Structure 1
């Protein structure tokens, strides 16, 4: 390879986002948080949900932003397929519980079908080895409201009932993220070996 091509290849790789999230087989950090479903706040516990079956824990940057609205809606539309595979879903972001009450009930987003948890300090995201960055001043959401919180990188974890990461899905567009998460849950339900 010519030196200029090698330099260009290295530069291209360096420009790619880092993906240091927890990997399959790693223990999933347990967490409790304020969450909302269908506009109603409640206390969410990952440990309690794992007693019922696998849990899809999906981190997203912010409620009421284009990609996150699409991802939440895609999870809501596919919710019955996740349930059929024995899994529940919880979204996690740095949004306040007040924003999540609106987001969880919004028919264009969660549509009252999936729970979303508030990680206002970013502790849960960091426990899952996800990058958390500050919001740019003046950034607005799709409703025109200012976004006054940080952002976690978009990554989805399928947590098995053993409390370990069964699959990690990251670096994909929102709808593809949901499709891959569903495929991983269905594979887990069939008892097939994980990649």
Structure 2
């Protein structure tokens, strides 16, 4: 695995000045992953496959813990955590920036409401086409996904405006539930 990560970084360096590429499309299958992170400041291991057995997953990538936009986004998601829970969804954030601080970020900024996962080297962000290559280091692009229990991506939303992500993901969950009820 370290060889893959090193190879990726070498290959990616010439492309650092290009804009980030498009996120995975709605209707695509979400790549499975397992990452270490924290919930309420306590270390956890998160598996997408395991989380999907419980219901839909709202997965949001953010650039770096304890930066202004990412802190605001974490506060917004934390404030809406009960709404996600009411929709039966697991909410989780992923970052490639400041990965050594995810435990603190989960407690302070996510207010113990949802897990935050560390993505060193942005390898999971690469799988999800959610990498911002406009910086000298690889960071996660601000992209949110809603993933159905069968692994289908219901929403793929990219915006630098952190305030829109909660509304977009909640709306996608509600639409999915309504469609499920009509069948």
Using the size of structure 1 for normalisation, the TM-score is: 0.78
The corresponding residue for 1:67 is 69
Q: Unaligned regions of 5+ residues in structure 2, if any?
A: 1-18
More helix by share: 2
Give me the whole-angstrom Cα distance separating, in 1, the residues matched to 2:134 and 2:160: 21
The number of residue pairs the alignment matches comes to 163
The corresponding residue for 2:125 is 125
1:161 corresponds to which of 141, 149, 159 = 149
The 3-state SS of whatever aligns with 1:53 is: coil
The structure with more radius of gyration: 1
Using the size of structure 2 for normalisation, the TM-score is: 0.83
Range moving further from structure 2, 86-95 or 75-84? 86-95
Q: Contact (CA 8 Å) 1:122, 1:132: kept in 2 or not?
A: no
Per the TM alignment, residue 105 of structure 1 is displaced from its structure 2 partner at its CA by 0.4
Q: Which deviations, in whole Å up to 9, do the C-alpha atoms of 1:73-121 show, x marking residues without a partner?
A: 1000000001101111110101455300100000xx2001010111111
The corresponding residue for 2:169 is 181
Per the TM alignment, residue 190 of structure 1 is displaced from its structure 2 partner at its CA by 1.7
Give me the whole-angstrom Cα distance separating, in 1, the residues matched to 2:39 and 2:71: 15
More strand by share: 2
1:85 lines up with 2:126 in the alignment: no
Name segments (4+ residues, structure 1) moved above 6 Å.
Answer: none
